Amino acid sequence: MITFKSSKALTVGVELELQLVNKRNYDLTRASVDFMEIVKKRKLIYDIKPEVTESMIEIASKPYANILDLENELNLINREVISIASILNIGISGGGTHPFQNWTERQIFPAERYTAVSDIYGYLTKQFNVYGQHVHIGCEDGDIAIELIQYLSQFIPHFIALGSSSPFNQAEDTLFQSSRLTSISSFPLSGIIPDLSSWKEFEIYFSAMKDTGIVSTIKDFYWDIRPQPDYGTIEIRICDSPLTIYRACIIAAYIQMLSSYFLKNYKLLKRAKIDRYTYSYNKFQAARYGFDGIIIRNFKKPIKISISQDIENNLELLIGHSFALNTHHYHKKLLDIVKNKNSNSNQIKKIYKQKGNFPGLVESLCDIWKSNSYI
């Protein structure tokens, strides 16, 4: 029996995994142990955590009903993060992957959970040194959470395209907009949540998985969207870490508006089924081509549509919700991004073209993160 802790509907929280790089050649560096030492020493009230390797940290906001408040808190946290980074002589960068790191150089953070993960998954854990944005949406009960997961899963290609910021991996242009996803798909419990329609069904499924020893906690599921009963949220885990906090908030606002649309039309949408036949294909299109990806809606009566067009269609439906949620500013910006196909991945490629080398690129990404420009 897992209790789903009720939380206020449509509240939003954001977690961002960030890269720690040295300032000598802008490769990843092992600094999270030192980083956490200073966080502890400063007695910060913010949520700053270590992650699986010593070259990453995670920052997380509290849940907010208003995305502007969320953005403010993330900016405050980031101010501390930048200050600690300057003490440690390191840089902080967004982006789903580090462009030229060598995964064999990574070191697992010395904590029981990460060591256990490393023992189970071996080299995959070090290859899992990728950086994502997780968006939590508050749900009043477990049934709504499961329904909302099923509903939002159809928009996974949108989230991938909007968040994509990992065109380079291991010093190669992958030709993908989001190469980070391939690192996650190696895990056995990644991908789409099983076909469940209520919290009760989830509980039965989870206890069966636990009894067989496949999982021990919810965290062992690396699904694209998973429930988080302890927080009373669902967690969308598919997006790359964007280059700025502002972009992270735009994505969070889109997910909040979609969730609001779902709740408003709950009776109509609550039995929405994910098209599992096309799920992986659509995901691939989004990861490979971003906004230009062509996805298939409705496998039985197929409709081909570009991801950018599909998001634009959605945004038209969401205008009213954007005013209700006070996210119209983000809505406008989102439309602008989609129309110009202005993904972070495209921006990264543009900077790389200007700089001509990977360290120069990462240096620029650190500057962008520090200045938190509106890109």
Partner 1 sequence: MTIQSSLLGVPLVILVIIVFSQFFKIFLKIPTIYSGIIGGYIFSITSIPVIGRIQIDALYPFISLFTAIIFYELGRRINLGWVLTKKLFFVAIVLMFILMFNVLIQALLYFNLDFRSASLISAILISTSPAFVLYSIKELKSEGYLTESIIHITGISNVLGLLLFSIFFDISNYNSAAIFSPESVSEIIRMIISCMSGFLTALILNAISNFFRFDENTQFIVISLFIVTVFLLSMQFNLSGMISLLTLGLFTKINNQRVNLHKSDLGPISNFSYLMIFIFAGYHLSELSFTYKDFFIASALISIKIILPTLFLMLGYKFNTLSFKKTSLISISLISLSSVAILLSTDLHLIGSEASLKAISILWSVIFISELISPVLLSLSLKLSREVKL
Question: Does the protein bind partner 1 through residue 301 (CB under 8 A)?
Answer: no
What residue has token string 């080398």? Answer: 357
Residue in the block written with tokens 């990462």 = 362
Which residue's CB is nearer to partner 1, number 24 or number 264? 24
d(CA 375, CA 373): 6
State the minimum distance, in angstroms, from the CB of residue 38 to partner 1: 5
- φ/ψ of 314, rounded to 5, equals -60, -45
Size of the site for partner 1 (CB under 8 A): 28
The verdict on 204 binding partner 1 (CB under 8 A) reads no
Q: Which helix (H) or strand (E) holds 241?
A: none
Q: How far apart are CA 165 and CA 158, in angstroms?
A: 14
* Binding positions for partner 1, 303-362, rule CB under 8 A: 354-360
Site string for partner 1, 8-27 (x = CB under 8 A): --------------xxxxx-
- Listed in sequence order, the residues at least 6 apart from 342 whose beta carbon sits closer than 8 Å to its beta carbon are 336, 375
| Cβ neighbours for 349, distance < 8 A, ≥ 6 positions apart | 167, 173
* CB-nearer residue toward partner 1: 110 or 188: 110
CB of 214 to partner 1, least distance (A): 29
Tokens of 358: 């990977």
Residue closer to partner 1 by CB (options 10, 36) is 36
Nearest to 334 by CA among 372, 370, 295, 291: 291
Q: In the structure encoding, which two tokens stand for residue 253, read together? A: 């606002």
Give Dmax over CA atoms of the chain in angstroms.
60
SS3 238: strand
CB of 59 to partner 1, least distance (A): 19
Q: Which residue number, 104 or 212, has a Cβ lying nearer to partner 1? A: 104
User: Among residues 73 and 363, whose Cβ is nearest to partner 1?
Assistant: 363
CA distances from 60 to 36, 101, 154, 225, 257 (A): 14, 25, 26, 17, 20
For position 31 contacting partner 1 by CB under 8 A, the verdict is yes
Binding track, positions 109-128, relative to partner 1; x by CB under 8 A: -x------------------
Min dist CB 367 to partner 1, Å, is 13
Binding flags for partner 1, 32-71, as an x/- string (CB under 8 A):
-xx--xx--x------------------------------
Interface residue list for partner 1 (CB under 8 A): 22-26, 29-31, 33-34, 37-38, 41, 86-89, 105, 107, 110, 354-360, 363
